[in-house]
Structure 1
Amino acid sequence: MSRNNLVVPQAQAALNQIKYEVAQQFGIQWSPDGYNGNMTTRDAGIIGGNITRTLIQIAEQSLGAGARRF
């Protein structure tokens, strides 16, 4: 049972698409039925890290140039 609750439940499809695209980009098998229990920890980390990187890039683009003032 997942304890992660999406703030915007409609975002689930977009997140699944990003997972699939990242996995495909790195040549990692992604199960279409949603079960990935046979995935190595390394592969899961690659996917998770790159999803985070992708979401940060999307947020920065949506905020415009002002996001780089840190």
Structure 2
Amino acid sequence: MPNNNQPASQGSEQVLDQFKNKIASELGVQLGGDRTSRENGSVGGMMTKRMIEFAEQNLKGGTRI
């Protein structure tokens, strides 16, 4: 099944890929189709956690994202 998702803004796909690779490196996980869903999913979970933390910190400070 093809992936038809479109990035929210121009250049965001590249930034998210860099973020994903940074998190994978921190967790010591090598991403890929030959890896378990637990390994790949741990990266996505940590990305979500960090983005939520970032948003919460900025909302507390009254900064609009």
Q: What is the TM-score normalised by the length of structure 1?
A: 0.71
Dislocated runs of 4+, deviation >3 Å: none
- Letter of the structure 1 residue corresponding to residue 48 of structure 2: T
Q: How many residues align?
A: 62
Whole-angstrom CA distance in 1 between matches of 2:49 and 2:21: 15
1:3 maps to 4
In the TM superposition, what whole-angstrom CA distance separates every residue of 1:26-54 from its partner, at most 9, and x where no partner exists?
11113xxxxx2112110111011001011
Q: What is the TM-score normalised by the length of structure 2?
A: 0.75
Compute the RMSD of aligned alpha carbons.
2.0
Consecutive unaligned residues of structure 2, counting only runs of 5 or more, are: none
Query: Percent identity, aligned pairs only?
Result: 33
> Which structure would you say has the larger RCO, counting Cα contacts within 8 Å and 6 or more residues apart?
1
Whole-angstrom CA distance in 1 between matches of 2:48 and 2:35: 19
2:60 maps to 64
- Letter of the structure 1 residue corresponding to residue 28 of structure 2: G
